[in-house]
A and B are shown apart, each in its own frame.
Chain A
Amino acid sequence: GAVVSQHPSWVICKSGTSVKIECRSLDFQATTMFWYRQFPKQSLMLMATSNEGSKATYEQGVEKDKFLINHASLTLSTLTVTSAHPEDSSFYICSASSGQVEHFGDGTRLSIL
C-alpha cells in the first residue's frame, strides 16, 4: 500500500527557532500533498495544499510567511514553521494523494518552549 513518511516525529525547541518538517511519499508519486494541524482533542484542520512545482494554496487564516511550504519533487514536500512560538505547538500531519485517496504520514508533534 501507499506509504507516507514524515520526519521528525517529535520536536522540542526554543521560541524563535524555525523548524522544518519533511513529508515523503515512499512508493508512489504525489503531485499533491496536504498539511494539517491538529490541536489536542480537536479535529484535523487543513492548513495548505502543496502542488509539485507551484506555490502552495493556503487556507483562510493560515499565514503563508509563517508556514513555508516547498514541494520540490513528486515525492517530497516540506513545511517550515518560521520563528516558532508556543502557540504554534501542535500536531502537524501531512498527507499525499494517490488517486482520490489521501494517505497520512505519522505526524510531527511540535512543542515550543
Chain B
Amino acid sequence: QKEVEQNSGPLSVPEGAIASLNCTYSDRGSQSFFWYRQYSGKSPELIMSIYSNGDKEDGRFTAQLNKASQYVSLLIRDSQPSDSATYLCAVNGDTPLVFGKGTRLSVIA
C-alpha cells in the first residue's frame, strides 16, 4: 500500500524564521510531488509541485526532492502568521494522489 508520512505537528516557528516541513513516501515509482496548504475549514490549495531531484524555488517557498531517499520537503522563508495552516504532502505515481495526513504549522508573531 502506498503511504505518505508527515509529522502531524504542530510545528511552531517565530515570525521571520524558516519553517521546514518534511515528508517521506513509500512508492519508489512515484513521479510527481505536491505541497498543498489547507486553512482551517477550507479546501486545500496547491502551493508547489516538483518532479525532479533537487530544489525548486517559488517566492518564499522552496521544495526539495530526493528520490533516492524517498523524501520531499518544503521550506518557507520569512514565515508569516498568515502561513499558519496545515500543509499536505501529496505523491503521484498514477492517479489518484496519495496524501499525507498533514503537518500543522503555527507561526508566532
Q: Chain A interface (Cβ within 8 Å of chain B)?
A: 6, 32, 34, 43-44, 46, 49, 91, 93, 97, 100-107, 109
Contacts and interface: CB of A to CB of B under 8 A. Distances in A.
B44 A104 contact: yes
Interface of B: 31-32, 34, 36, 41-46, 49, 88, 90, 92, 95-97, 99-102
Contacts of B43: 6, 93, 104-107
Contact of A107 (B31, B42, B49): B42
B25 to A, nearest CB: 15
B20 to A, nearest CB: 21
The 5 closest A-B pairs by CB, nearest first: A43-B101, A107-B43, A104-B43, A100-B32, A93-B43
Contacts of B99: 43-44, 46
Nearest to B34: A101
A44 B38 CA distance: 10
A89 B58 CA distance: 37
Nearest to A99: B32
Contacts of B97: 102
A34 B96 contact: yes
A101 B46 contact: yes
Secondary structure dominating the interface of A: strand
A46 B42 contact: no
B99 to A, nearest CB: 5
A107 B43 CA distance: 6
Contacts of B92: 100
23 contacts: A43-B99, A44-B44, A44-B88, A44-B99, A46-B96, A49-B96, A93-B43, A97-B95, A100-B31, A100-B32, A100-B49, A101-B46, A102-B34, A102-B46, A102-B97, A104-B36, A104-B43, A104-B44, A104-B45, A105-B43, A106-B42, A107-B42, A109-B41
